[in-house]
């Protein structure tokens, strides 16, 4: 009987863990229902100094790449573990302003429209501050390069030799097309070149200038991309940049995951059905995440919401229909997001909400956190707390409701920005000048699935 009782207990615990819950570590009632708050260790809010723990999903799933946070314990690009929060916030705001500029211009294509507006997802003055990178092999023989991936950009590019203009410093050796037997420049007569900046000796030339005036310029080309030993893609269109400028923090370039025709998912539709997913590890963790192409390994617990073409055909639009803080639903009406809409973005760090919505979220959050000592704000963030001397802290659960009945409860790492133990801030900001943006801090540890062909984005807990 004792053995049977223990077995049944294990089954019950397993079932509870599989319940629809996005707050990792959220406290549950005996019935398994997620409570309105959960308690976490204060030490878990800050970077771990322990060694890197690879994601089991990235290593066990076909067509899956390891994702690391630029400032995390698993990053090989930075020898300095210190995080410059001022710089991250500044770069993130530059990206947000660039998104707004891009939408206001209502441009029609990536290669030309991005010349003055597009900002990718990586820590770099040019790229905003998304901070998530993968390693891909380019060429024959393959040359492994670290690229920041971005759902807000289409064209994949890397720095190339020779640097005819200028090149920024990167960690790995630059890609040399003359050393690859499979490299081909794209002709100006190619349909893929119709939106290009110019031609040079009948070869297609691309040019992208980001919102902060950083840029990449070079030849549109085709090349072999090696994702894993069993996933090799032929004739992938990419930018071979021979004139590049900006602070890219050691990455070699960008992996474009946007909805446009030049993005890697769009180019590999016949192989991966224009489906990809990722899990973003928190920079405070010592683990990796994954970027997976195709439907392999997607959890059955994924809940989907439709992709909206509003506010932009250049980003993945979503419809936010509700937000709750603890046991309180915010007073969100159909008009709360109707003017500018909302997007989900891997490159924007902190979620931006309409000012009135953010003000109510902040008010309820403060009410739920009234037992903790408040302190001064930090940059964009006006709601901060001093956790000095505390071992644990209890947060109210924050959940987003999307069209289609999908409810996403945020992980503990998706609620706060830890500047220092005496200054831990609510990681949301208000802004009325652009669409609401569901940023990557709020996406951490979730399995986020982009079924572009099916016109939907999905979420599941414990994705890494």
Q: Which residues are catalytic?
A: 150, 345
Give SS3 for 458.
strand
What one-character DSSP code corresponds to residue 259? S
Q: What are the structure tokens assigned to 11, written together? A: 């089954």
- Residue pair 82/322 in contact (Cβ under 8 Å)? The answer is no
Q: Measured on CA atoms in the order 306, 312, 314, 315, is the torsion positive or negative?
A: negative
Helix axes 85-105, 110-117, angle to 10 degrees: 130
DSSP code at position 50: S
**How far from chain centre, in Å, is Cα 248?**
16
Q: Per-residue b/e over 302-316, b at no fewer than 16 CB within 10 Å?
A: bbbbbbbeebbebbb
Concatenated DSSP letters of 205-232: EEEEE-TTS-EEEEEEEEEEEEEETTEE
List the structure tokens of 135.
């390693």
CA 65 from chain center: how many Å? 14
Pairwise CA distance, residues 336 & 304, whole Å: 22
d(CA 218, CA 214): 14
| DSSP string covering 125-183 | TTTBT--EEEEEEETTTTEEEEEEEETT----EEEBSS-SS----BSSPPB-GGG-TT-
Q: DSSP code of 99?
A: H
Structure tokens, 17: 């863990």
| CB contact at 8 A, 376 and 370 | no
Q: Are 293 and 265 in contact (CB under 8 A)?
A: yes
CA 356, CA 332: separation in Å to the nearest integer? 9
Neighbours of 197 (CB within 10 A): 16
DSSP 193: G
Give residues with Cβ within 8 angstroms of 396, minimum separation 6.
Answer: 36, 37, 325, 326, 364, 365, 368, 369
């Amino acid at each position: 009987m004792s053995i049977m009782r223990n077995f049944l207990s294990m089954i019950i615990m397993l079932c509870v863990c599989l319940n629809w819950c996005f707050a990792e570590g959220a406290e549950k009632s005996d019935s398994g229902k997620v409570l309105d708050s959960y308690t976490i260790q204060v030490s878990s809010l800050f970077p771990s100094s322990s060694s890197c723990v690879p994601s089991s999903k990235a290593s066990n799933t076909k067509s899956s790449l390891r994702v690391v946070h630029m400032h995390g314990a698993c990053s090989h690009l930075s020898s300095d573990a210190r995080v410059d929060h001022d710089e991250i916030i500044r770069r993130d705001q530059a990206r947000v302003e660039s998104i707004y500029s891009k939408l206001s211009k209502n441009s029609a294509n990536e290669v030309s429209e991005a010349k003055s507006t597009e900002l990718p997802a990586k820590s770099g003055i040019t790229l905003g501050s998304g901070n998530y990178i993968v390693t891909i092999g380019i060429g024959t023989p393959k040359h492994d390069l670290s690229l920041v991936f971005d759902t807000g950009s289409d064209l994949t590019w890397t720095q190339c030799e020779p640097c005819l203009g200028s090149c920024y410093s990167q960690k790995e050796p630059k890609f040399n097309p003359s050393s690859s037997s499979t490299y081909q420049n794209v002709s100006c007569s190619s349909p893929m070149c119709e939106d290009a900046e110019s031609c040079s000796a009948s070869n297609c030339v691309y040019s992208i200038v980001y919102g902060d005036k950083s840029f990449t310029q070079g030849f549109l080309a085709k090349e072999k991309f090696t994702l894993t030993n069993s996933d090799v893609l032929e004739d992938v269109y990419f930018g071979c940049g021979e004139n590049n400028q900006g602070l890219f923090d050691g990455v070699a370039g960008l992996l474009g995951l946007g909805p446009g025709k030049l993005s890697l998912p769009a180019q590999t539709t016949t192989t991966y059905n224009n489906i990809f997913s990722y899990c973003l590890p928190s920079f405070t963790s010592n683990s990796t995440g994954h970027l997976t192409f195709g439907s392999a390994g997607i959890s059955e617990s994924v809940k989907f919401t439709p992709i909206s073409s509003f506010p932009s055909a250049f980003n993945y639009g979503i419809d936010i229909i509700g937000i709750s803080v603890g046991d309180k639903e915010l007073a969100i009406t159909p008009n709360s997001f109707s003017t500018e809409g909302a997007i989900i973005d891997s490159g924007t760090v902190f979620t931006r909400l309409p000012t009135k919505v953010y003000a109510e979220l902040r008010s309820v959050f403060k009410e739920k956190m009234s037992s903790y000592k408040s302190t001064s704000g930090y940059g964009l963030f006006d709601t901060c707390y001093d956790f000095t001397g505390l071992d644990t802290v209890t947060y109210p659960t924050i959940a987003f409701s999307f069209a289609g009945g999908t409810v996403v409860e945020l992980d503990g790492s998706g609620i706060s920005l830890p500047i220092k133990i005496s200054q831990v801030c609510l990681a949301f900001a208000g802004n009325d000048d652009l669409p609401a943006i569901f940023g990557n801090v709020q996406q951490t540890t979730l399995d986020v699935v982009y079924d572009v062909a099916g016109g939907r984005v999905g979420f599941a807990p414990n994705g890494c």
